[in-house]
């Protein structure tokens, strides 16, 4: 999983883009496993195996830490896709 420092950088990068806040929350819940609230800690975090797979396909290493700008770019893409499908 992401280290605290990397997660903090990602959260800070998203926080300066208020237009991405709803998209970020939407993606967080979309990627959360079913019944996420039944596991400890009750946070809607993506499954670690899925996240590892996505990191490996993006960076070539399942233990890589995504760059904050990569996450912002991903959220912008998600927001555009949402508008296209509506």
- Segments making up each domain of the chain, as ranges: 4-85
pLDDT (tens digit, 9 = 90+) per residue, 11-36? 999 999 999 999 999 999 999 999 99
Q: Distance (Å, rounded) from C-alpha 7 to C-alpha 66?
A: 9
Q: What values do phi and psi take at 57, rounded to 5?
A: -70, -30
- pLDDT at 9 exceeding the cut of 60: yes
| Tens digit of each residue's pLDDT (9 = 90 or more) over 42-82 | 999 888 899 999 999 999 999 999 999 999 999 999 999 97
- Asked if residue 1 has pLDDT above 70, the reply is no
Look at residue 49 in the predicted model and tell me its pLDDT: 92
Which pTM value belongs to this model? Answer: 0.83
pLDDT at 2: 65
* Other CB atoms within 10 A of residue 75 CB: 22
């Amino acid at each position: 999983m992401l280290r605290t420092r990397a997660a903090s950088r990602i959260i800070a990068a998203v926080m300066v883009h208020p237009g991405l806040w709803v998209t970020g929350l939407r993606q967080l819940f979309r990627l959360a496993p079913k019944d996420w609230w039944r596991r400890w800690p009750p946070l809607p975090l993506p499954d670690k195996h899925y996240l590892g797979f996505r990191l490996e396909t993006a960076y070539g290493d399942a233990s890589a830490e995504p760059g904050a700008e990569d996450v912002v770019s991903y959220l912008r893409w998600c927001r555009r896709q949402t508008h296209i499908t509506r």
